[in-house]
Amino acid sequence: MGEGPGQPRLKLRGIHKTYSALVANDRIDLDVMPSSIHAVLGENGAGKSTLMKIIYGVTEADAGTMFWNGAPQPHLSPARARQLGIGMVFQHFSLFPALTVLENILLFAPKGATREELRSTLKTVSAEYGIPVNPDDVVGRLGMGERQRVEIVRCLLQKPKLLILDEPTSVLTPQAAEDLFVMLRRLAANGCSILYISHKLHEVRELCHTATVLKAGRVVATVDPREESEDALARHMLGSMVPAIRHDAAHAGAERMSVLALSRDSEVAGGVGLDDVNLAVRCGEIFGIAGIAGNGQAELLEALSGEWVGAPAECVCLDGAPMGRAGVRARRRAGLVYVPEERLGRGSVPGMPLRRNSLLTTGFANFFRGGLIRQGPVDAFTRRCIEEFDVRPADGTANADALSGGNLQKFIVGRELLQSPKAVIAAQPTWGLDVGAARAIRQLLVDLREDGVAILVVSEDLDELFAICDQIAVLANGCLSEAKSASSTSVEEIGRLMSGRPVAGVGSPLQGGACADQA
């Protein structure tokens, strides 16, 4: 296996993969050189993750060949990939939460490795790269950032020649992302190739030497990102520019939705509780809550929506009326609607057609007669929702799980917004959506703001928050920072608050109430 200069370490030729009718990868060619940090850039759904799974042997391509140091690799499996020296850090689903860090590593160590040997190797490697990990921590109790470090260390133990990272910064604060970049540069300098999958242009421009741009499963460009402008990269990625969100100055009115001194424990194992959370959202205002998921977001949303009613009544108010004890449906009657993060299984019921999913949160009087459902008006509502929000397929009998993520989200947003709400809660409203759908949903929220609705957006995406919010606060380790006006704060400041003290992901999130001052 020659590894001469000029020889690509990884070479893909004609990789093709289809899922039912969808072409995920369309005859993709790719060359990754030794020591290079190579970006695979593309929108959600462009086929990046599929390609990486093929390289790592999780998924098999329908056609095409992969060459490793010039040698074709016909039958690839993750075990074989690891043998070749390919390591992969997945975006989701890769560590085992119930096992300890050491056990997670042991699982994929070469046969015959003992716990004690691994423990000492782990210590060496984590010291060498400056990545602190405790071998005896149970992974499920670690924050997302820490888990990622465990994954990276697990890969490094195998001395990889090629490290694949799939959207690694999606769970990191801006500062932690900087630390990651430093580490990746050091790795590359030592000869390791890095495949860096992302849709974030500024990261790719900062970090990568080469960028292969995917669009709809096809390679549309291979460029040096350091020499291209963000606009140029975006044009490759999207084909055309997406117009910016129209966002005029706010003229906020009275306080519509407020939380007063809300403290609670989490009800899920390893969850983070809330510690003295205060916030107020006024009419005609979008209030953004930034922060990495798992810092009390789910707990706050439950308390706001009425799924959890353990707080004193005056802790949550709608239009001044104490609602802390009121259930979901009472709050909905008071004019609150909620677009949850989890679209399938929470915002909609899988295995149920849209015309039945319309009923999930709508309580219009003409939908019912004496405890029975009148499907006629419900169908009319469903049609309206599909038409006004451009849901495809435009078919009320399609099951919720048959829709793409973006279309399902449009349906859910439509169902909620068509109820003429006074207040809206939206959690990660555009997560995983393509740029067009994301923009449409953001514009809807902004338009609603103009109509005097109070809107609360919980998101991990700082770009999104800065694009639409009037006020931004940060939820870190169960504490909510003071709200800042979006125009008077910066991504850097919010990023610093997100890492807070203690940093999300460092130290056990089980330490409740350990909120240092975040100012």
Partner 1 sequence: MPIRLEPRAAASRWVRYLAPVASALAAMIAGTLLFFFIGHDPAEAFYVFFVQPVSDLYGLGELFLKTAPILLCATGLAIGFRSNVWNIGAEGQLILGAICGGSLALAFDSVQGWWLLPAMFLAGGIGGMAWATVAAVLRVRFNANEILVTLMLTYIAGLFLSYLVYGPLRSPTGFNWPESTAFHGAARLPRLLDGTRMNAGILLALGVAVAAWVFVRFSYLSYQMEVGGKAVNAARYAGFGRNRMIWLGLLISGFCAGLAGVVEVAGTIGKLREVVSPGYGFAAIIVAYIGRLNPLAIILSSVLMALFFIGGEQAKVSLGVPSAITGIFQGTLLFFLLMSDLLVSYRLTWVGFASNSAEGGGAVDG
Partner 2 sequence: MAEADFFIFIAVATLTAATPLLLAALGELVSERSGVLNLGVEGMMLVGASTGFAVAAGSQSLALAVLAAIAAGAVLSLLFGFLTLTCMANQVATGLALTIFGTGVSAYIGSGYTGSALEVAGPAGIAYLSEIPVLGPLMFSLEPLTYFAFLMLAGVWWFLQRSRAGLTLRAVGDAPEAAHANGLNVLRVRYLAVMFGGAMAGAGGAFLSVFYTPVWVENMTAGRGWIAIALVVFAAWKPTRVLFGALLFGGVTIVQFQVQGINLGIPTQFLSMLPYAATIVVLVVISSDRIKIGLSTPASLGVPFRR
Q: Is 401 in the site for partner 2 (CB under 8 A)?
A: no
Distance CA(407)–CA(280), nearest Å, equals: 31
We find the least distance from the C-beta atom of residue 77 to partner 2, in angstroms, to be: 5
Q: Which of 320, 308, 249 is nearest to 280 (CA)?
A: 320
> Among 23, 73, 108, 344, which residue sits at the site for partner 2 (rule: CB under 8 A)?
108
CB 208 within 8 A of CB 37: yes
Q: Which of 124, 94, 91 is nearest to 107 (CA)?
A: 94
Tell me, residue by residue from 72 to 111, as one string, x for binding to partner 1 by CB under 8 A and - for no binding: ---x-x-------------xx-------------------
Of residues 179 and 379, the one with the C-beta less far from partner 1: 379
> Among 1, 189, 244, 269, which residue sits at the site for partner 2 (rule: CB under 8 A)?
269
| Site size for partner 1 (CB under 8 A) | 50
Q: What is the DSSP letter of 93?
A: S
CB 360 within 8 A of CB 379: no
> Among 13, 23, 33, 103, which residue sits at the site for partner 2 (rule: CB under 8 A)?
103
Q: Is 77 in the site for partner 2 (CB under 8 A)?
A: yes
For residue 232, the partner it binds in partner 1, partner 2, none, with Cβ less than 5 to 8 A by kind, is none
Distance CA(278)–CA(265), nearest Å, equals: 16
E strands within 216-307?
218-223, 255-264, 274-282, 285-290
For residue 399, the partner it binds in partner 2, partner 1, none, with Cβ less than 5 to 8 A by kind, is partner 1
Tell me, residue by residue from 238 to 267, as one string, x for binding to partner 2 by CB under 8 A and - for no binding: -----------------------------x
Phi, psi dihedral angles at 380 (to 5 degrees)? -60, -45
Q: What is the DSSP letter of 168?
A: G
Q: Is 490 helix (H, G, I), strand (E, B) or coil?
A: coil
Residues 289-318 within binding reach of partner 1 (CB under 8 A): 305-307
| DSSP of 200-233 | -HHHHHHH-SEEEEEETTEEEEEE-GGGS-HHHH
Contacts to partner 2 by CB under 8 A? 53, 57-58, 77-79, 81-82, 90, 93-99, 103, 106-108, 111, 267-269
Contacts to partner 1 by CB under 8 A? 19-20, 22, 24, 44-50, 53, 58-60, 75, 77, 91-92, 167, 305-307, 327-329, 332, 338, 340, 342, 345-352, 356, 359-361, 368, 371-373, 398-399, 402, 432
